[in-house]
Amino acid sequence: MSLVLHADAALAPAVQSRPGDYVGLVTRALAFGLDAAVINAAAILTAAIVALTLSLVSVPKEVRTVAVACGAALYVVWGIGYFVTFWSTTGQTPGSRAMRIRVQAASGGGRLKPRRALLRFVGLTLAAIPLFAGFLLILVDDRRRGLHDRLARTVVVDAGDAG
């Protein structure tokens, strides 16, 4: 029995992730879920405040329709801006920070420029369109890159305790 315990102890350091290790699908999905919760919580709070304000004043139906269309457009801009800003400044969204992962350039490991971060977001959207098939590449790629990572030439790595 002690032989098995020693064997497990010897394997444990090899199984633990180190900063710079490539991150798989489940960890990335959990980080994305946390980010979606943050984005939607802010949007719901904003919508509630606007709806309350509009309920207190008399506003024509046409103005309400325009307000709803503007709110939808702002929601899209907010979602895109959230990811692009975090990816191009720190490489980590709040969800990524909670999961201790980081997005970086595949060559050199540096920060993403805003244009590359935007391209990664477009790729993320394209990866989701065909029944999330663009994410399946993460399961077979040696550096765990999905369609969006390949388009933007990025990798997602373990940030370690420094993140």
In this predicted model, what pLDDT tens digit does every residue of 80-105 receive, in sequence order? 999 999 999 999 999 999 999 999 99
Q: Is the dihedral of CA 149, 154, 157, 159 positive or negative?
A: negative
Residue 162: pLDDT band with limits 50, 70, 90: low
Kindly state the helix (H) or strand (E) to which residue 72 belongs, with its residue range: helix 61-89
Q: Is the dihedral of CA 120, 123, 128, 133 positive or negative?
A: negative
Between helix 61-89 and helix 25-56 the angle, nearest 10°, is 150
Buried b / exposed e across 14-45, counting CB within 10 Å, b at 16+? eeeeeeeebbeeebbeebbebbeeebeeeeee
* Confidence check: pLDDT of 6 > 90: no
Record the pTM: 0.85
Backbone dihedral angles phi then psi of residue 111, each to the nearest 5 degrees: -65, 155
Q: What pairs with residue 102 in β-bridges? A: 157
